[in-house]
Amino acid sequence: MISISDDKVFALTNAEFSYVFRVLDEGLLQHVYYGAPIAHAEELASHFRVDRGATSHFQGVPNLNLNDLPQEYPTFGTSDYRRPALHGVNADGNSVFTLKYVRHTVTIDKPDLDGLPSARGGESETLIIYLADPLHGLEVELFYTIYQNYGVLARSSVVRNSGKAPVDLTHIMSSTIDLPPDDYDVLHLHGTWSREFNAERTKLPMGRFEIDSARSTSSAAHNPFLAVMERGATETSGNVFASTLIYSGNFSLSVETGEFEDVRVLAGINPFNFAWHLAPNEAFYTPEALHVFTPYGLRGMSRIWHRFIQNKVSPERFRNIARPTYLNTWEAAYFDIDEAKVLTLADKAKDVGVQMLVLDDGWFEGRRDDTSSLGDWTADMARFPSGIPALAARVRAKGLKFGLWIEPEMVSPNSQLFEDHPDWALQVPERKPSLGRNQLTLDFTRKEVVDNIYDQIEALLACGDIDYVKWDMNRNMTEAGSTALPKGRQLEVPHRYMLGLYGLLRRLMEAYPDVLFETCASGGNRFDLGMLSFMPQGWISDMSDPIGRLAIINGASYLYPLDVMTAYIGPSPSHQNGRISSIKTRYNAGALCAAKGISLNSLDIDTDVDLLRELMRLAANTSGDFIGGEFTRLISDDTQICWQYITRDRRTIYVAYFHILSAPNLPFRRANLADLDPVAAYELQEDGTIYHGDTLMQHGLALPYVTCGQPQAGVRYMDRGDFASHLFVLRRKR
């Protein structure tokens, strides 16, 4: 997979891509190629250096103009005017760094990233390039991991100060990818609460295009994902270069098109509002960036991401384990919850065949609304007189699992924890804090704070009857300063916070490996591979309206497999947008997600009890199908969505079709299924018809007809009216 020539051309190649760079005589790293696999990287030699006759020359070397040179880890101030990978102020007070090759090593597998989450190794090799700027004793290690069976290149870097004076760094990016000039589009996912993951595809402009977060959560505003694609690339064809980060805090993914139209993708911690004081003998590890190349368009890209996330990012413990169906108390009761209601809902859950009761917000000391109590993780004795362990045991005695909501990173000003430790919240001197949902963020840069929260969570989990934890986080950070750090290190707080959080999660996962954790941040405000590397599933959105969720799931599926998404049947009219929809469509919108449940009150459950029984039994009986399989977007436009899912054993195919607004006289539509066995016979479960794979892929599956007129015999119809849906199931015969 990794070949290195005598003249130091490094080629990383597997069946999906080649990535090639080399060391110039001057010791700089020149990027040479990233794209479809090529067997003879040495043949690229004739393209190694092109002299434009420019007037800027790197440190007196004729014909070497860095502004025109594709690079691996560029710095600023020596003839490259684009944004660099590494930048800051050195001991001399200037910002000129020159990183030169020193040596390299190749290791089997992957190095540890010092507390940061990263993709698992296995059938992988890592090339480590050691660079140094001897003038300031700065050393950089670049990690490149290539896998035998995945089209993913994992990159990160470590900066060490082996000099005698501190260095103040402002940019320490995880990776740079310099792509050749072309007409590119860029695809990214933006949104806000209850409207996450809107895909926007736009022409890549000259200059800089950036998505980022300065909120100290990866955030719903821009998910950490960006794809640079050939202008003509479609869902199924064309070159796509996509990037993400295994990180949950302030990130930046930017693309700069320089004057010569070459394109630089930078991935890493957001340099805005960041600085790191690197004292002698200290090291800084960057989060891991993941890059995908595919010539097979967006579908090809998603395939690679999904398989990789399923097998290398999601926690191994839950990899092929079906998720329990659940009833969540939030939209059933909000804060108006008590022990009796939980037990009634548990009975309802049992009756409709749900497997787990999840007690959401509102169960702890004094919590009657969102103005108090975060930080005091003991049961409110007025409403939960038996306490959580006893309640959990009673729910379990009914044959259900028990899940609990917590929001451990937060503290309410109105809480015992805050009264005892006002300095434990993030804050800056002499300024009134800006509250978010009436709460403050705990200072997870401090060990004693993290330890306190660990102890409180442990006191809950120790009873052994809590099967699931919904880990929420409901604000973006402001005044992100720490009373425990000196003035010169305050801009380090957001990243130090992430290290504290990841450390806490690691301890908990190790101590309670069988507890299923779900990440949530007001829905999808921190839905990223950092959190998803600890927790197998995420509360992707608070949007309970199925039509709203279609766009959310569709957008998120560019990067994330549906294995990591939690779906639920919420109330109708939806509490988020007031839309009325059928239970069937509410189920179908999440039918291909791994985790399914309901968030309905007793009355709503009683009203639709028969249908809920049918659907929740279906969800429970098929939950194993939606782990580790292959999801495909077949059709996604303004009027219709059609998704396909092939189970891991490739024997069952689900096709979920949604027709959003009804209209008269529409075309007869078909969906061309994908990646079936062309010679295999598949039986459509609803009527026993046999179709072969080639028919379903080439001719397509006839979609139910949308009509406002009189139904005709022999035609399959959608339910009448808006927001109709249909779930096909096909089973392979032999």
Residues that bind ligand DGJ (CB under 6 A): 330, 360-361, 405, 472, 474, 520, 522-523, 539, 542
Sign of CA dihedral 94, 95, 96, 101: positive
Of 67 and 441, which CB lies nearer to ligand DGJ in the complex structure? 441
| Rounded CA separation 604/701 (Å) | 35
| Rounded CA separation 223/241 (Å) | 16
Of 361 and 545, which CB lies nearer to ligand DGJ in the complex structure? 361
Contact 175, 267 (CB under 8 A): yes
| CB of residue 543 to ligand DGJ, shortest distance in Å | 10
* 156, 193, 342, 384, 385 from 369: Cα distances, Å: 43, 19, 17, 16, 19
Sign of CA dihedral 496, 288, 112, 21: negative
Amino acid identity of residue 702, one-letter, is A
Amino acid identity of residue 202, one-letter, is T
| CB of residue 354 to ligand DGJ, shortest distance in Å | 17
| Rounded CA separation 209/255 (Å) | 5
Q: At 54, give phi and psi (nearest 5°).
A: -75, 165
Amino acid identity of residue 344, one-letter, is T
Instruction: Give the max Cα distance, the chain.
Output: 85
Of 332 and 673, which CB lies nearer to ligand DGJ in the complex structure? 332
| Rounded CA separation 136/363 (Å) | 55
Of 12 and 515, which CB lies nearer to ligand DGJ in the complex structure? 515
Contact 266, 289 (CB under 8 A): no
- Close Cβ partners of 299 (under 8 Å, ≥ 6 residues apart): 235, 236, 632, 633, 674
β-strand partners of 200: 188
Burial of 301-324, coded b for 16+ CB within 10 Å and e otherwise, reads bbbbbbbbbbbbbbbeebeeebbb
Of 58 and 363, which CB lies nearer to ligand DGJ in the complex structure? 363
| CB of residue 475 to ligand DGJ, shortest distance in Å | 10
Of 312 and 470, which CB lies nearer to ligand DGJ in the complex structure? 470
Is residue 101 within a helix (H) or strand (E), and if so which, with residue range? Answer: strand 100-108
| CB of residue 455 to ligand DGJ, shortest distance in Å | 23
Of 161 and 373, which CB lies nearer to ligand DGJ in the complex structure? 373
Phi/psi class of residue 621: alpha, beta or left (left: φ > 0; alpha: ψ in -120 to 50)? alpha
| CB of residue 404 to ligand DGJ, shortest distance in Å | 11
Going by DSSP bridges, is the β-strand pair 240-246/222-230 parallel, antiparallel, or unpaired?
A: antiparallel
Provide the CA 250 distance to its chain's centre, in angstroms: 14
| CB of residue 328 to ligand DGJ, shortest distance in Å | 7
β-strand partners of 154: 145, 290
- CA-nearest of 649, 651, 650, 653 to 673 is 653
Residues with a catalytic annotation lie at 472, 542
Contact 467, 518 (CB under 8 A): no
| CB of residue 521 to ligand DGJ, shortest distance in Å | 7
| CB of residue 729 to ligand DGJ, shortest distance in Å | 30
| CB of residue 412 to ligand DGJ, shortest distance in Å | 12
Of 288 and 542, which CB lies nearer to ligand DGJ in the complex structure? 542
| CB of residue 219 to ligand DGJ, shortest distance in Å | 14
Structure-token pair, residue 380: 């409110």
Of 329 and 644, which CB lies nearer to ligand DGJ in the complex structure? 329
| Rounded CA separation 183/204 (Å) | 8
β-strand partners of 725: 658
Alpha-helical (H) ranges within 462-566 are: 493-511, 529-532, 546-556
- Any idea what the Cα angle at residue 271 is, between residues 505 and 294, rounded to 5°? 75
Of 3 and 414, which CB lies nearer to ligand DGJ in the complex structure? 414
| Rounded CA separation 534/512 (Å) | 12
Going by DSSP bridges, is the β-strand pair 537-538/516-519 parallel, antiparallel, or unpaired?
A: parallel
Contact 536, 486 (CB under 8 A): no
Going by DSSP bridges, is the β-strand pair 595-598/630-636 parallel, antiparallel, or unpaired?
A: unpaired
Closest residue to ligand DGJ, based on beta-carbon distance: 361
Contact 540, 553 (CB under 8 A): yes
Structure-token pair, residue 581: 């929809």
Of 570 and 628, which CB lies nearer to ligand DGJ in the complex structure? 570
| CB of residue 325 to ligand DGJ, shortest distance in Å | 17
Of 139 and 361, which CB lies nearer to ligand DGJ in the complex structure? 361
Please tell me the number of Cα atoms within 13 Å of 120 on its side-chain side.
17
Of 157 and 194, which CB lies nearer to ligand DGJ in the complex structure? 194
| CB of residue 389 to ligand DGJ, shortest distance in Å | 21
| CB of residue 564 to ligand DGJ, shortest distance in Å | 16
The arrangement of strands across the sheet holding 18-23 comes to 2-4, 9-13, 18-23, 29-35
- CA-nearest of 117, 170, 213, 168 to 480 is 213
| Rounded CA separation 219/221 (Å) | 5
| Rounded CA separation 30/50 (Å) | 12
